[in-house]
Each structure stands twice: as C-alpha cells, then as structure tokens.
Amino acid sequence: MYLFHTEADRRAMLESIGAASMEEILHQQIPENARFDRTLDLPPAVSEMELQREVVRAAAENASAVSHVCFMGAGAYDHFVPAAVDAIASRGEFFTSYTPYQAEVSQGNLQAMFEYETLVTQLTGLDVSNASLYDGGSAAVEAVIMALSVGKGRKRVVTAATVHPEYRQILETYLHGLGCELVTAPLEADGTSSSVTELIDDQTACVLIQHPNFFGRLEEVAEISAAAHAAGALVVQVFDPISLGTLKRPGDLGADIAVAEGQCLGNPLAFGGPYLGVMACRNELVRRLPGRIAGQTVDRRGNRCWVLTLQTREQHIRREKATSNICSNQTLLALRATVYLSLLGPQGLQETAEHCYRKTRFAQQQIESLQRFSLPFTGPVFKEFVVKDHQGDVQGLMAAMLEQGYLAGIPLGTWYPELQDCYLMAVTERRTRAEIEAFGQALSNVPSSGVVAGA
C-alpha cells in the first residue's frame, strides 16, 4: 500500500487538531459497541497460483450469459459484441484515461466524444447529445429534471406504468425533494399505457414514456407527443437503441428528449455494469442539457480540433444555478458504443434489429404451443414479451430452467403484483433457431404441478 503521509506528517496533523493519536480520534467518534476489536477471521495467505485457482472456482459458481443460454432482458441484453470493439477500446490512451477536465483532456478523447455525440443524434433524430451519463435510469431522471427546469413553474410529471419500474423508482426518489407531483398512468390489458394522454393537463411539465416499453410492447408515441405538446408539455422517450434499426426515431415521433441504456451498444453485461446513459434533445434545449458536450472548431492556425463546450451546468460553472451537477460521463463505454455503431453502420443496425424481431416472434410461437403458458399481452413487440405461467410457479420454473442451462427470464411479481404469475423474456440476435427450439423443449420438460393458478 502506498501511504504518502510520513510519520512526521501525521504527528503534525494530530497536533494541529489537539489529538494524541488516531486511536483517540476513533474512540471519540465510534461507539464502543460498533468497534471491531478482534482479529479478522481470514484464511492463511496462499500463493498466486493457489489464489487464481480459488478465484476461478468461485467465479464458476455464477450463472451468466457465457455459461448459460440467456433469455433475460429488462434493460440489459445479451447482444453480440464484435472483437474489434474490445481491441480498440483496450488501447492504452482510451483504457487508462479517467474522466478528464477541459484543461487536460486530449484531442483524441474529445474527438471520440464528438463522434459519439454525432452518432447519437443521427440515431435519435434529435439535434444534440451529451457525452453520456451513468446509465439509462439516471439519464431518464436527468431528462425529467431538465424538462421541469424549462416548464415555467409546472410541477406535474406524467409517466407510464410501462416505463422500466426501476427508472420510475429513481425518478420518485429524485422528485421527492423537489415538491413535484408524479402521476402514473396504469397498465392496460394490452400491455401498454394508452391512457397516459388522459392525465396530461396545463400543469404538466413533461410526459415520460418508454417505446418499446418495459414489456417489449410498442406505444403510440406520436399520439402521446401530440397531446403533450398541445398542453405545452415536453416528451421524454426512453428507447432501445437497437430497436431504431427498424422503428422510427424518437425525434421523428415528436419526442423532445430521448434517453436510453446504452449497454446494448457494444458493452458487455458484466453482472450489472458499469453501463452507459444515452441522452439527446432538441437544439432549443441545449443549454439545459446536463454533462459534457464536445464541439468541433478550428484553432488559430485553422486546424480542425475539438473542445468541451456549453458546460453551463458543470460543477465548476454556475453551480448555484445548476439544475444538475452531473459532471462525469462514461467515456470508455461511450467509445465502445461509437466503435460498435461505426462497425455496424445503418445496414448492420437494421439487420440486427430484424434478427431480434424475427427471433422474438419465433420464440413466441414456440411458447404459445405449450399448454402451460400463454402470452397475456396482444399486439406487436420488439425483443421482449411477457409469458404467463398458468401454474403460477414462476420462481420454481426459473430455478428448473437454470438447472437445464437457461437464464429463462425475469419474474415480474417484484414490480407488478398483478403479474405475479408472469415473467419477461428477451430474444436477441445471438439466439439461434436451435437454441430457441431447445428452450421450448426444456420448458415442456419442467415437471408440472397439475395445478392451474386461479382455478
């Protein structure tokens, strides 16, 4: 361990605060019953070779998209990552740089941010993007707070029950201290929140909608946008970046701000992160956009170069007036997204989206053929859909499928009590026809209790 304070330094600091030792400070600050006064119960030290063997053994106990066939989604997906993404992102100049500030950021990193932002605007159909946020959930909340800041006193936020439930939980936490009203449109029988337009009034600052929604169902975003704009409210759309290979862009549907979880763009699942918050907006909102915005310009010699620009809400500028103090971003993951999108191009993204759509439909057909299951929500879906287990034993089903080598889905009862007998599954381009057929066969092999829920 590197300790840069010498013994003399520590003595000088203790003398300056009138303490005789660190132990004296700790005893003053930590209650007696909270102190740990015995030796840690750790095994004896081992060699590097033995330690590696133990770490590999412990890691093998995890079930992952590498060890199992993955049909889990709900915001994090098992998409294919080309080897070139790892090769480029692991270059030292990218891999080792932390989030730099204006005075020290290199031209290479600035260009990477600029190209990422350019690709995001092309992807979303909006005018400007920042250089990323922490993840999709925090991006959604930042977008809502951004809309509130331009709402001229409006304190009402309308959201849909079909927006990712964890995003809504984060939003509720943030809005708790802001004196804002959060209204949630209920889940309709078809798996959408079509009644969201009925909740919009002249006090509504923004509407938060997800399309495709948390259940994979497509929402009527254009209709919702028109209703919101007629009432003077903004529209924040959560979107799936891969879906834009086949669906209309948020900007084309009337969204004013678009946000997404960018994990699907060349970033690994990695047991839950770190992830990438994507965000873009219309040009007239650019001065409310949180985080970093890289711009392209020329230097005094006329050479093309890049700068950080319009950081009106950075922590070191007008902090007291800021509606957000986000100042970090996910540059390395944004770089991976940039490389990924550059490699695929528009045609590759379209092909990936079409594979997801067709394979999802094939998986639906496989499951619909099994007597134990049904699909409770009708209508078109993208990449995800809800499955109802008529025996109501979702947890037992997931455990049985795990033993057969499948991450079968996400139980929905945690967030939606009315869907206690349902789970959410996702099908990406990585799933083969053989895997989907074998998955259907494995589902049919799970022992049946013979009990039908609700019978």
Per-residue tens of pLDDT for the chain, all 455 residues: 556 788 999 999 999 999 999 888 888 888 888 888 888 888 899 999 999 999 999 999 999 999 999 999 999 999 999 999 999 999 988 887 665 565 567 888 899 999 999 999 999 999 999 999 999 999 999 999 999 998 778 999 999 999 999 999 999 999 988 889 999 999 999 999 989 999 999 999 999 999 999 999 999 999 999 999 999 999 999 999 999 999 999 999 999 999 999 999 999 999 888 999 999 999 999 988 988 889 999 999 999 999 888 765 555 556 666 777 776 778 899 999 999 999 999 999 999 999 999 999 999 999 999 999 999 998 999 999 999 999 999 999 999 999 999 999 999 999 999 999 999 999 999 999 999 999 999 999 998 766 655 54
Task: List alpha helices for 83-152, DSSP H.
Answer: 83-89, 92-95, 107-124, 136-149
Sign of CA dihedral 125, 131, 136, 140: negative
Integer Cα distance of 165 and 134 in angstroms: 18
Integer Cα distance of 213 and 140 in angstroms: 14
Per the structure block, which two tokens stand in for 247?
A: 């669906």
Q: 407 with 70: CB under 8 angstroms?
A: yes
Integer Cα distance of 9 and 409 in angstroms: 56
Domains and CATH numbers, the chain: 69-79+345-445 (3.90.1150.10), 83-341 (3.40.640.10)
pTM as predicted? 0.88
* Among the listed residues 140, 224, 149, the one whose alpha carbon sits nearest the alpha carbon of residue 180: 149
The per-residue pLDDT for 92 is 85
The per-residue pLDDT for 103 is 59
The per-residue pLDDT for 101 is 60
436 to 100, 215, 257, 401, 427: CA distances (angstroms):
45, 19, 36, 13, 9
> Number of C-alpha atoms within 13 angstroms, CB side, residue 415?
19
Sign of CA dihedral 109, 110, 113, 119: negative
Which residues make Cβ contacts (< 8 Å) with residue 210, sequence separation at least 6? Answer: 160, 162, 163, 164, 167, 219, 237, 238, 239
Q: For 93-133, how does the pLDDT look when each residue is reduced to its tens digit (9 = 90+)?
A: 888 766 556 556 788 889 999 999 999 999 999 999 999 99
Q: For 406-446, how does the pLDDT look when each residue is reduced to its tens digit (9 = 90+)?
A: 999 999 999 999 999 999 999 999 999 999 999 999 999 99
Cα distance from N-terminal residue to C-terminal residue, the chain: 64
| C-beta atoms surrounding 248 within 10 Å | 15
Integer Cα distance of 327 and 306 in angstroms: 18
